[in-house]
Amino acid sequence: MNNTPRVLNRILIGILGIKVFAVGILLILLVSVPAVAAWWHVWAGGVLIFWFDLFERTQLPRSQESWLWIAICLGLVVVLGLMVAWVAQQGKGRTSLIVAEEDPGAVPGSVGIGGGVAEQAIRAALADRSDLAGVTVAAYEIRGEPALKIWVEPRQGVAPHALAAELSALVEALDAVIGKRTPVLIHIGSGARSRFGRAERVR
């Protein structure tokens, strides 16, 4: 429901996983297969000689240092900036309000209802239920409009469809209290099944 770049995250995680897997296979082959170890020594030696030669051919005037070090530092700065920008994109979209409207009455102003109101109301309504292991409510801003996401962790044996219907009734009661219909995503996870799949219901 938030603006986290999930597709980009999955691509980056996939690339990282492939690289780690390839390095692991290479290390196993280097230890267990003598032919691969001999090939690695020859290949790595050639690469090392190439880089030494490249640094010698790119020395700065009146200096023994290569300008490649400057290029490497600039490249690292660019990578660092991209990483900071990527981290800044994680979890964006959270909002502290579920209702924010202008009141053009006799005394103009604005009316706001915090997401904590919805969280406390739903938690209070479900506090006495022993069939629930946990409840979390968060407010997000989707296309400029507030929305709620409700995470519920029922204990084993609870029917997800019945729980979803009860949560929908609670949300409708909340809408009646705050005077506005709010989009809601209900996320249900239970026991071991929550590690392999999930049930979601969008209203």
E strands, 155-198, where? 184-188
| Side-chain half-sphere exposure of 141, counting CA atoms within 13 A | 10
Can you name the residues that pair with 151 across neighbouring β-strands? 136, 187
Average pLDDT, the chain: 80
- The pLDDT tens digits of the residues spanning 74-102 come to 999 999 998 888 877 766 666 777 776 77
Amino acid identity of residue 128, one-letter, is D
How confident is the model at residue 159, as a pLDDT?
A: 80
**Which candidate, 141, 202, 139, 192, places its Cα nearest to that of 167?**
202
d(CA 122, CA 128): 11
DSSP 8-state code for residue 94? B
Domain 97-202 fold: Alpha-Beta Plaits (3.30.70)
From-to residues of CATH 3.30.70.2960 in the chain = 97-202
- Are 148 and 118 in contact by the 8 Å Cβ rule? The answer is yes
121-139: average pLDDT: 80
pTM of the model: 0.50
